[in-house]
Structure 1
Amino acid sequence: MTTTFAPNHPAVPVAGSGSPLARGGAGASHVTCYHCALPLDGAAALHAEIGGQSRDFCCAGCQAVAQTLHASGMGHVYDGPVAFAKPIEGERRTEAEAVWSTYDLPVMRERFVRVRADGSEELSLAISGMRCAACVWLIERALSRVPGVREATVNYATERARIVGDAGAVRLSTVFAAIADVGYEAWPDQPSARRTAEARERRSLLIRLGIAMLGMMQVMMYAWPVYLHGSDIPLSQTRLMQWASLVLTVPVVLISARPIFVNAWRQVRHAHVGMDVPVALGVGAAFVASVVATVFATNGGHGETYFDSVTMFVAFLLAARYLELRARQSAASGAEALVRQLPATCRRMNAASGALEIIPVATLQQGDCVEVRAGEVLPADGTIEHGATEIDESLLSGESVPRARDVGATVLAGSYNVVSAIRVRVTRVGAQTRLSAIVELLERALSDKPRMAELADRVAGRFVAVLLGWALLTAIAWWWIDPARVFAVTVAVLVVSCPCALSLATPSALAAAGGALARRGVLVTRGHAVEGLAAVTDVLLDKTGTLTEGRLRLLSIETFADMDAEHCLALACAMEQAENHPIAQSLRAATPHAMPLPTLTSTANVPGQGVHAMVEGKQMRVGTQSFAAAQYTGQPAASIRYGETPVEEVPPAAACTSVWLGRDGQPLARFTLADTPRADAPACLAALRAQGLRLHLVSGDAPETVHWWANRLGIDHAVGGVSPEDKRAYVRKLQAEGARVLAVGDGINDAPLLAQAQVSIAIGSGAPLAQAGADAILTEPRLLAISEAVSIGRRTLRVVRQNLGWAFAYNAISIPLATLGWLSPLAAGIGMSASSLLVALNAWRLSRAK
């Protein structure tokens, strides 16, 4: 739902001023509606007694809304700022105001504010906390009071707001404060010239597609009666339908097909014959012949028209190109998706005073000291100067478990600080960071990636050259045989050989295959992905988040004292109750909900070590062995419980995470946790092997862990401890040996791997960049869809070959017949349409595949 605060309907309330002048109070220089603030004509205004005062309204709708609000106790919304949610205030407000003020700096305004052609400024915001249309009205009402704001539009469905204001008059901090006053949070939605251009291109193509579709439907209404009952329809009515078809086809040719003719002319000027040249030739020839036939028929001659074929071909072709455009655009935003992982601001320590100041990340310099609190993303590469914590680097390194980092440890931009606040001395900023290096690597891989051209594109140049030469020879020959038939025979040759079927052979099959894949949970984002799947010989898979769930599971509990496993688990769960660490989450998940938890006192977290607390006067600790069970000397465990996991399926120690529970330094229990395999991983790998594909497991985890998983899952080739660069090099080595590689991954660290492979699939729950750099996205957590995608790709390639074979066979038969004069232009048009229909129906079989 989108509303603005200049509506013309009372059902969409807007932000009117809360002052007496705006409500038509005493002393007003002009009268406005009490509800929507629109100017009123005094003679036409409605009046009602509301809240003990006489109010003026522009219509009965505004009057009814105002009366309803007052009757329900919500009349205070007209008296000033009001929040449907709790406003941001107190210490949180003070900290937020410091962040807001940074957005008024020139470097931030240039990043987030766009200057429009009329000199005004436009700002896009993302807003959280909206629950209904009333929230939209309230936010717009608050924004309307911000000085300098001309227009504000809030979209409830997308949770976005667009603000237009006078040049330099709107302070971003004031905008954020106004929204916070009514209980909502907002932050800039960074404008992008690329996204704007993509939206404009999509809109233009959709308009042209809509015109073509409407023209096709209307023209076919006139064409079918002539095809079925032409001899029974009076000549005058036939001519009327021809002229109506002409009028309807002109917009399709001049508007919908205009880019096709422009591109074809550009290709001819540069001595390059692409697919647009034969397409433009077919459309142009059929249209010109139809126009000539219509005009001559009006003057007493006789001719046939092909307006239905023209509109149908243009509509089908634009539909296929729209699908290709959406796929191309969704795959082109990889670098931007990754850069957006970084925060816009950070806390820098002032070298002189030692105080913290909030500054834009763009102004950070090497040597600065920044504070990064728990739950925040690191803004730059650096080393820890103070504090200890755990850093989640899964998006960069592929490691599934956060790692402890202490003073002197290196941390990377884009990593997530999990446990506690740290101070970091910046060593690399901007383009020098590890994050930017991965972006550059991705862009280079995308540009170097081999592109498999469509088979139709490879033959289009030769086909159109032969077609033009053949049509010219036909015209010369018939000039000597029968000059009166030159035009009709030449047009028949051009129409019957129109590359409709050739042009639709590949796009229609790819579109049908894309639909079949989407129903199986595989969203194709690049046009060549289906053809690439058909030629795959090797499959590379990441471990964490791909073959495994990427979350820890409790495998065993070993007890060393008088406390049994259940009580040890309850105690550890109670101590980790307030933590948000993946290990804490796993322990809580393994604890039955009905299990009573002990009472703790003096609970405290020691970053990088664990948690300690007092239980019945004794100090309990849970965490690392050195922290919780320093006096462990290798004594045997009293009991071992593996739950539902067979002993042979328990990973080696290097692939597991151990958490110790201790009492006064003595071990009580050891909890063993490990990653969780996806349930359908074995079935998926078995299906891929049955298709004759070689499987490779390449991961950033420890080599011992990777090899154990490979042996368990039956993967012959496995490599562990590799960086994103090493993954890409592994793919290039396989490609140098002639392999056609399908890569499957989920993290940002997999993006270069996905980009380098001939075809790639990203797990839909993974990082946005991995999805942006992939050729297809697995939208459902079902690995079997990967093997199904390979199968559909192979079937699609067979259908494409069948379509191309039919297209060439059709032309090989029909062109000689037309050349000999045995096919009229009407028969040629029917043959052309029938050929295209057959190709489309054959491709449609892919969408019905079981």
Structure 2
Amino acid sequence: MNAVLAAAPSAVPQQDPCCFHCGLPAAPNAQWTVAIDGAPRQMCCPGCAAVAQAIVDAGQSSWYATRDGYAATASGADALPAELALYRNDDPRFALDATDCEAVLLVDGIRCAACVWLIEHRLLQMPGVVQAEMNIATGRLRVRWRKDGCEAADVLRALHAIGYPAWPYDAARHSRQLQQSSKALGRRLFVAGLSMMQVMMYVAPAYLADDAVNRGTLDDGMAALMQWASLLLTLPAICYSATPFFRGAWSSLRARALGMDVPVALGIAAAFGASVIATWRGQGDVYYDSVTMFIFLLLCSRWLELAARRKAASALERMQHGLPASASLLAGWPTARIATVVDAAALKAGDVIAVKPGEAFAADGDIIEGSTSADLSLLTGESAPQAMAAGATVPGGAINAGNAVLLRVTRAAGDSTLAGLLKLVEKAGSSKPAMAMWADRVASIFVAALLLLAAGAWLWWHWADPGRAWPVAIAVLVVSCPCALSLATPSALAAATDRLLAQGILVVQPHVLETLHRATHIVFDKTGTLTEGKPAVRHVSRMGPGAGPDNRAALHIAAALEANSAHPIARAISAAAESRIAARWTAMDVREMPGQGLEGFVCGQRYRLGNAAFVAAIAGNDMGEPDDGAVPERCGGGLTTVYLGTNGAWLACFYICDALRADAQRTVDDFLKQGKQVVLLSGDRDRLARQVANQLGITMVQGDCLPQQKVDYVRQLQRGGAVVAMVGDGINDAAVLRSADVSFAMGSGAALAQAHADAVLLNGQLHAVADSAHCAGRAMGVIRQNLAWAMLYNATAIPAAALGWLNPWLSGVGMALSSAVVVINALRLRKA
């Protein structure tokens, strides 16, 4: 806000219809007014109205009475770029609902927790802004505002005014920004390193001349020449390499906030200023070597931090570049096969596109011609390609790893599976967990305390030993490391979530890892979570003597009878027949007996398919024993037996069940070994739920649960002090997923369940929940290590500097190493 005030220091006459804030002409029908000192004042636009209202709300309305110029306009130093000034609330990128807008912005110039605090605090002061969350690790800001409160351009203007350029998030811009930042930082680092090495050459004789052996070997004239040479060689580091620190400190002070750059800039300025004075006077200590080394080491720390941020965003960048920019459209298919290259964003449902080997599928669709294999690693983390034949559904973003195919688009590129995942990832990268917010608050207080301590150290040493006052004060300013404290949590969480995303586990909410680590109860849904979610024929046994049909023929007959039934068991038999039998028979005169089964004619022979009593009516009461009566393993949803018989003969028995997931037992065992309480909460019949629980070794089980009963059960656990993690699949799980402390949705589950979950298992593997728990434990361990290191370092180094035990150059080494330790330790989480 002070950046806006800077251009207008005193009173000016006001002439209507000019804007009272900026002086530009106001439209005759302009409706924007702000009450200033009890009088309504005309404004030319919502931006001026928002800034003026913020000035009044901050109690600074007296500024208008003392200014001698208008506030900065679009031609001022803090002007908003013309293309950003055009953004309005009706832009589809900002649409949220009928009353609110929401945007993910890419913010430049973020350096520490104080920057985060300043951005969030300034935006929340604007009329209409209801939420502002800045993520220091990713550089993304999520803002939500009311449409009737301000415009999108006003939000961007407010950020530019306090020194933080921002744009609507775009993957290409983000990539370019990181590359530009890396190149600029590399140039500054090179200049600082070159200055440091050259200065060291000129200060080395002075150090050697001061030792006991060489004392007096450097005369005063040569010493002065060395100091002047060091001054000239330090100027490039001060005027170029250190400008980001001075610019950041000025922006913080101008906005009345204390950022990490403030003590850094003060330390550099104090050391350089004292050195210049000593050089000019020809007496006193100089610190050119300490200044250049401090700038170089601090830039090295920034380089590591930038590298960590780029690596933390690597998985997201891969996803954002997963959808191709163009597609080969077959507009005249099937009569013509001429392909036209079109913008992928222009594809709509029903379009037919050709996908060549090695290309990405531009949108979700069904293969209508050809067969291939698809690489889904970008979406699920599964590296093995999956076979895709005609009729298979392929998600947008998958890679065609086999033959050329034709795809009929079912959803436009903007609504594809990958596009939906990107929206969730963007949401995930713009929020902060409680631990990070705690570290931000501590870091912002830390800087103020540090400045007071430096001033106190200077005063004490000025009284005790005036010659050491400046070196001690500089060392205190330089040795502190608030950035290590503010980076301790977000750097670790960013590395951990990037690793999980690469494994096919999408963390949507920021609290997932720390809450999962504290979870006491792991609650699983049954159908589609512990089980595969669909009944299937697990075994076929022949029955009765004689040369009846074999298993394949029996399945063929049963599928013919079930061909027109929508019952889940019918779908299971039909699916088994499709996978095992090439030919298809036709059943005639099929009749369905509700609750019993089906009767019909196949090749002129009457058959019955259903329960034992129904089939016995034509096959006879002497059922006999199946030739292989072994119950299939892993039947988690209860075993159902379906019999096939004909006149006077039993033919076959089909074992149908909803099988347990292959990794269900391993997942449950893993949590039990961690000391977690595992609960099975299902809407299925209590008897079936208990069968699954007994098979998996789960002691707490509840069946016959309606959605609200699931919610009540979870809340009852929470009232007893439990921290509940919920894993579910399906629309009826959405409410309980939202009620749990942390929740996971299977990637193959209903979209509503995924929308309400805190994390999504894109790979569809249940054991990914246990993998997330292990990763959460490692992440919390690294965060504790980082916080402990940052606090221990500052608690040790700052008093040591205040007592005069550390000189400025050694303090610079410690400060840079402290930040490097935090970042490097966090990057360990990216390894499996």
| Range class of TM-score, shorter chain | 0.5 to 0.7
**Paired residues of 2:249 and 2:259 also in contact (CA < 8 A):** no
Q: 1: CA distance between counterparts of 2:623 and 2:543?
A: 5
Q: What is residue 640 of structure 1 aligned with on the other side? A: 626
Q: Which amino acid aligns with 1:590?
A: A
How far apart, CA to CA, are the structure 2 residues paired with 1:286 and 1:779?
A: 49
State the secondary structure of the residue aligned to 1:780: coil
* 2:188 matched residue in structure 1: 219
Gaps of 5+ in 1: 1-115, 125-191, 269-276, 331-448
The partner residue of 2:770 within 776, 787, 796 is: 787
1:243 is matched with which residue?
A: 236
Superposition pairs of residues 558-597 of structure 1, within 5 angstroms: 563-564=548-549, 566=551, 567-576=553-562, 583-591=569-577, 595=581, 597=583
Residues 42-57 of structure 1 aligned to structure 2 (within 5 Å): none
**What SS does the aligned partner of 1:640 have?**
coil
Change beyond 3 A, Cα 1:605–1:714:
same
> Hey, what does 1:755 align to over in structure 2?
738
Residue 523 of structure 2 is matched in structure 1 by 540
**Are residues 452 and 537 of structure 1, via their aligned partners in 2, closer, same or farther at CA, if it must alter by over 3 Å?**
farther
- Tell me the residue number matched to 2:474: 491
Give runs of aligned pairs for residues 638-677 of structure 1, distance below 5 A. Answer: 638-640=624-626, 645-646=631-632, 655-657=638-640, 671-677=654-660
The reply to whether residue 714 of structure 1 matches residue 697 of structure 2 is yes
**One-letter code aligned to 2:726:** A
**Residue in structure 1 matched with residue 67 of structure 2 by the alignment:** none
Q: 1:200 aligns with which of 168, 183, 208?
A: 168
- Superposed CA deviations along residues 42-65 of structure 1, whole A, max 9, x for unmatched, are xxxxxxxxxxxxxxxxxxxxxxxx
Distance 1:199 1:665, change over 3 A: farther
In structure 2, distance between residues paired with 1:195 and 1:785: 39
State the Cα deviation string for residues 698-751 of structure 1 (Å, max 9, x = none). Answer: 122221111110010001111122233322322222222222222222323333
Question: How many percent of aligned residue pairs carry the same amino acid?
Answer: 35
CA contact (8 A) 1:612 1:622 kept: yes
Aligned in 2, Cα 1:483/1:297: closer, same or farther, shift over 3 Å?
Answer: closer
> Structure 1 pair 656/205, CA: closer, same or farther in 2 (3 Å)?
same
CA gap of 1:607–1:532, structure 2 versus 1, over 3 A, is: farther
Cα distance, 1:539 vs structure 2: 0.9
Query: Residue 4 of structure 2 corresponds to which residue in structure 1?
Result: none
Q: Contact 2:680 / 2:702 at 8 angstroms: preserved in 1?
A: yes
Judged with a 3 Å threshold, the aligned counterparts in structure 2 of structure 1 residues 209 and 238 are, in CA distance, closer, same or farther, namely farther
Q: CA deviation at 1:117?
A: 5.7
Provide closer, same or farther for how the CA distance between residues 218 and 517 of structure 1 changes in structure 2, counting only shifts above 3 A: same
Distance 1:199 1:599, change over 3 A: farther
Q: What is the alpha-carbon distance in structure 2 between the residues aligned to residue 738 and residue 118 of structure 1?
A: 48
AA paired with 1:682? Answer: Q
Distance 2:568 2:252 in 1: 58
The Cα offsets for residues 260-292 of structure 1, whole Å up to 9 and x where unpaired, read as 949x947x5xxxxxxxx5535455545655885
TM-aligned CA deviation for residue 623 of structure 1: 7.1
5 Å-filtered alignment, 1:671-710, equals 671-710=654-693
Aligned to 2:602, which of 607, 612, 615?
Answer: 615
Q: Is the 8 A contact 1:239 1:297 kept in 2?
A: no
Q: Find out whether 1:846 has 2:819 as its counterpart.
A: no
Is it true that 1:767 corresponds to 2:738 in the alignment?
A: no
- Is the CA contact 2:623–2:650 (under 8 Å) kept in the aligned structure 1? no
Q: Give the Cα–Cα distance (whole angstroms) in 1 for the partners of residues 803 and 726 of structure 2.
A: 53
8 A Cα contact 1:205 1:322, kept in partner? no
Name the SS of the counterpart of 1:718 in structure 2. Answer: strand
Shift of 1:231: 2.4
Question: Using a 3 Å threshold, how does the CA distance of structure 1 residues 583 and 487 change in structure 2: closer, same or farther?
Answer: farther
**Secondary structure in 2 matching 1:507:** helix
1:809 matched to 2:792: yes
- Alignment of structure 1 residues 271-290 onto 2, 5 Å: 277-282=258-263, 284-285=265-266
Superposition map of 1:400-415 within 5 A: none
Equivalences, count: 533
1:674-714 Cα shifts (integer Å, max 9, x gaps): 11111122122112111111101112222111111001000
Q: Distance in 2 between matches of 1:519 and 1:492?
A: 43
What displacement does 1:456 show? 2.4
d(CA) in 1 for partners of 2:445, 2:90 = 52
Secondary structure of 1:686's partner? helix
Aligned counterparts of 1:219 and 1:605: Cα–Cα separation in 2: 83
2 CA distance for matches of 1:122 and 1:832? Answer: 45
1:329-728 map, 5 Å: 456-457=439-440, 459-460=442-443, 463-481=446-464, 486=469, 488-518=471-501, 520-557=503-540, 563-564=548-549, 566=551, 567-576=553-562, 583-591=569-577, 595=581, 597=583, 599-600=585-586, 614-618=601-605, 631=617, 635=621, 637-640=623-626, 645-646=631-632, 655-657=638-640, 671-728=654-711
The match for 2:201 among 226, 232, 245 is: 232
Contact (CA 8 Å) 1:279, 1:503: kept in 2 or not? Answer: no
Structure 1 residues 457 and 734 mapped into 2: Cα distance closer, same or farther (>3 Å)? Answer: farther
Q: d(CA) in 1 for partners of 2:194 and 2:779?
A: 36
Q: Could you tell me which amino acid in structure 2 is paired with residue 221 of structure 1?
A: F
Closer/same/farther in 2, CA of residues 564 and 633 from structure 1, 3 Å limit: closer
1:574/1:632 Cα in 2 relative to 1: closer, same or farther (>3 Å)? closer
Residue type of the partner of 2:576? A
Q: Quote the residue 2:54 is aligned against.
A: none
State the shift of 1:207 in Å. Answer: 6.0
CA drift at 1:841: 2.8
Change (3 A) 1:215 1:307: farther
Sort the Cα spacing of 1:678 and 1:123 in 2 relative to 1 into closer, same or farther, 3 A.
same
The 1:244–1:496 alpha-carbon spacing in structure 2 relative to 1, beyond 3 Å, is closer
State how far apart, in whole Å, the 1-side matches of 2:796 and 2:817 are: 14
Contact 1:212 1:314 in 2 (8 A): no
Q: Residues 372-413 of structure 1, C-alpha deviation per residue, up to 9 Å, x if partnerless? A: xxxxxxxxxxxxxxxxxxxxxxxxxxxxxxxxxxxxxxxxxx
Instruction: Give the letter aligned to residue 247 of structure 1.
Output: Y
Cα deviation 1:143-195 (Å, max 9, x = unaligned)? xxxxxxxxxxxxxxxxxxxxxxxxxxxxxxxxxxxxxxxxxxxxxxxxx9999
2 CA distance for matches of 1:123 and 1:815?
A: 51
With over 3 angstroms needed to count, the CA separation of the structure-2 counterparts of 1:738 and 1:239, relative to structure 1, is farther
In the alignment, residue 168 of structure 2 is paired with which amino acid?
A: R
Shift of 1:322: 8.3
CA deviations on 1:289-311 (whole Å, 9 max, x unpaired) are 58858987997975414444555
Letter in 2 for 1:534: H
Note if contact 1:534-1:790 (Cα within 8 Å) is conserved in structure 2. Answer: yes
Residue in structure 1 matched with residue 761 of structure 2 by the alignment = 778
TM (norm. structure 1) is 0.52
Cα RMSD over matched residues? 5.0
Q: Could you tell me which amino acid in structure 1 is paired with residue 201 of structure 2?
A: D
TM-score by length of 2: 0.53
Whether the 8 Å contact between 1:320 and 1:507 is mirrored in structure 2 is no
- In the alignment, the residues of structure 2 paired with residue 725 and residue 702 of structure 1 have an alpha-carbon distance, to the nearest angstrom, of 16
Secondary structure of the residue aligned to 1:527 is coil
Q: 5+ residue gaps in structure 2? A: 1-84, 94-145, 156-165, 203-225, 319-431
C-alpha distance in 1, partners of 2:280/2:629? 91
SS at match of 2:744: strand
